[in-house]
A and B are shown apart, each in its own frame.
Chain A
């Protein structure tokens, strides 16, 4: 696991106890909380927030699954139970603005919670990073240099097609002076990693190959040094693909937040 955090991550409960209000709530998500690989990204997002001095907080143990996998699997009851419980917590804390580390949480809270009484301004962490770069608060210097490195970016369906966010993650990569190479299927034509729609939690139906293998073959065709992800589920699928192709030595799969944190020496 990556280096320990050298600062405390503030929770909403603590903030309120101290009579303070954060500018933004960081919604971590289930994968970001429990999945070992995704935890690294979670910590890097915190490092970025801490570094730029944004007043933020997390819900900690008060957070629960947004209900996305339940909804995509067809269990609307369970989804709404989760959603309404979460909305109660968020509204009790008077949350106005949320950043998520997961396109599925992002989509659900942004689009599906308003219908159930949860209205927040929701952004994805790549959008926050883009904003911070634009404001000059993140400079991509002082850390690992990605200059000239070949990076290809995989669009997560729920960020790209689902919500038309295509440019923010690319802007974050362009700031690195890296060589961004696009896959044949990218942006609105991007190919799914195979995890969405609750597929992450089940065996795929039988076919000729797994979706993540098809995707990784396409990614490897660009001969990248880094495959950039911006979703914890894509991360798992892409890493599994790279492993299956025995390319771990040559290709890294990194989240945009990790890349940004590294480039800034965080």
Chain B
């Protein structure tokens, strides 16, 4: 009875804490400007199913994709196990689904294989990060926290899987002893090999079984509440993020409506622009970005696939699209806590001018991102701010803009010479 009450209290506390943190995240995303992403619901649904659920974009790199798929499947499927744990925890039952008989055996058996798969995949991931030191996982932005984040999670997963298998092994032994509470249920194709490592006394086994059971469920709650602080938030946000992702051709940049009205008024004096709320052109800070940009930042897994294909980054320039996403997230968290008036801004405090001017707008980053994040639109907004609000662009860019304005071409040629190519030889 005591343990049931304890379990309920812990569960409620974990859920409450998670909702509290999730609310903060949603509040931060709401700092962003409006963006309409409610069109074409069917296409959006398909995109989500393909990209987030089916992980199609991961498969450009087949080996990590395969390992990731195991961990992902493990995560999704083992949730059925968690459901059982919850019911057992609340009602003090043992393997409540055991009544399903053969089906249950198949379920538990396959969970065990999955658990082993997850265990191995995480071990390989750890080696890749820490021993092989893939270039993708380093970079200026991958210091301290972002660097350890993945390791913490991988180690936690390994511990959780170990606990799960050990628990099953102890349970199977107890079941074999015919102890009342431990009714025989489940098949244990993997954990049977751990049985010899465990003690033979009922008391010892019960201690281990209970210990692992508690460790497993508390571990899951801890994981849940770690998410909002981690790149692993993507296990939740990948779904809305792909649903609301950009469906237009990648080459298309948004037309700024506020500008359209002003330009129309300039070209046609009889045009009276509709009353518009005065806003800033482009983005100086996170509140000038759209909520999609901000959701992108929470979804970013810091995998660095974008940065590893960025031509600017490849050739040693300061720009890293992953850093753009991480900076946006960090700044958003800061603004969420302290507000906007702290003398800082996304541009300059976090992202330098050198970074934004190095982008060729090639869309390699958006193409490479496995969850349809769009770092380029943030870069574009920052440039818009620099150019339209501050008139601060590299001198040669100013020259080019001046030429377009005066001659209708980015170079200093006379418009009357525009057709010369057809006449001269």
Residues on A lying within 8 angstroms of B by beta carbon are 1, 3-5, 8-9, 11, 28, 30, 32-34, 39, 42-43, 46, 58, 60-61, 63-65, 67, 69-78, 80-82, 84-85, 107, 110-112, 115-116, 157-158, 161-164, 188-189, 191-192, 194-211, 213-215
Contacts and interface: CB of A to CB of B under 8 A. Distances in A.
Contacts of A60: 418-419, 422
A72 B314 CA distance: 21
B248, B256, B419 — most chain A CB neighbours (10 Å) = B419
Contact of B367 (A82, A85, A161): A161
A207 to B, nearest CB: 3
A58 B315 CA distance: 39
Contact of A76 (B259, B315, B317, B357): B259
A209 B404 contact: no
A157 B394 contact: no
A188 to B, nearest CB: 5
A157 B252 CA distance: 12
25 contacts: A4-B424, A9-B422, A30-B411, A33-B421, A61-B416, A69-B404, A73-B383, A73-B387, A76-B255, A77-B259, A77-B388, A107-B249, A116-B255, A157-B251, A157-B363, A158-B251, A162-B251, A201-B396, A202-B396, A202-B397, A204-B315, A205-B354, A206-B316, A211-B315, A214-B314
B274 to A, nearest CB: 16
B259 A80 contact: yes
A189 B312 contact: no
B424 A65 contact: no
B255 A115 contact: yes
Nearest to A201: B400
Contacts of A110: 249
Contacts of A61: 415-416, 418-419
Interface of B: 60, 248-253, 255-256, 259-260, 262-264, 266-267, 281-282, 309, 311-312, 314-319, 354, 357-364, 366-367, 380, 383-388, 393-394, 396-397, 399-401, 404-405, 408-411, 413, 415-422, 424-425
A44 B92 CA distance: 82
A85 B386 CA distance: 25
Q: Which of B315, B364, B416, B417 has the most CB of A within 10 A?
A: B315
A162 B250 CA distance: 5
Given A73-B387, A80-B259, A34 B411 contact: yes
A205 B358 contact: yes
B404 A67 contact: yes
B360 A192 contact: yes
A80 B255 contact: yes
Given A77-B262, A82-B404, A189-B309, A34 B418 contact: yes
Nearest to B405: A78
Nearest to A162: B251
Given A162-B251, A192-B362, A207-B316, A64 B415 contact: yes
Given A74-B388, A84-B267, 9 more contacts: A3-B425, A28-B421, A30-B409, A69-B404, A75-B384, A111-B248, A112-B252, A205-B354, A215-B311
A75 B401 contact: yes
A224 to B, nearest CB: 20
Contacts of B318: 205, 207
A111 B425 contact: no
Contacts of A111: 248-249, 251-252
Contacts of A70: 400-401, 404
Contacts of A206: 316-317
Contact of B361 (A81, A196, A203, A210): A196
B357 A1 contact: no
B243 to A, nearest CB: 21
Contact of B315 (A72, A73, A77, A209): A209
Contact of B408 (A82, A196, A197, A201): A82
A93 to B, nearest CB: 16
A203 B366 CA distance: 24
Nearest to B395: A202
Contact of A191 (B364, B388, B393): B364
A215 B314 CA distance: 11
A211 B315 CA distance: 6
B364 A192 contact: yes
B252 A107 contact: yes
Nearest to A71: B253
Contacts of B397: 73, 198, 201-202
B422 A5 contact: yes
A74 B393 contact: yes
B360 A157 contact: yes
Contacts of A65: 404, 408-410
Nearest to A195: B360
B421 A39 contact: yes
A161 B419 contact: no
A70 to B, nearest CB: 5
Most chain-A Cβ atoms within 10 A of its Cβ — which of B248, B255, B404? Answer: B404
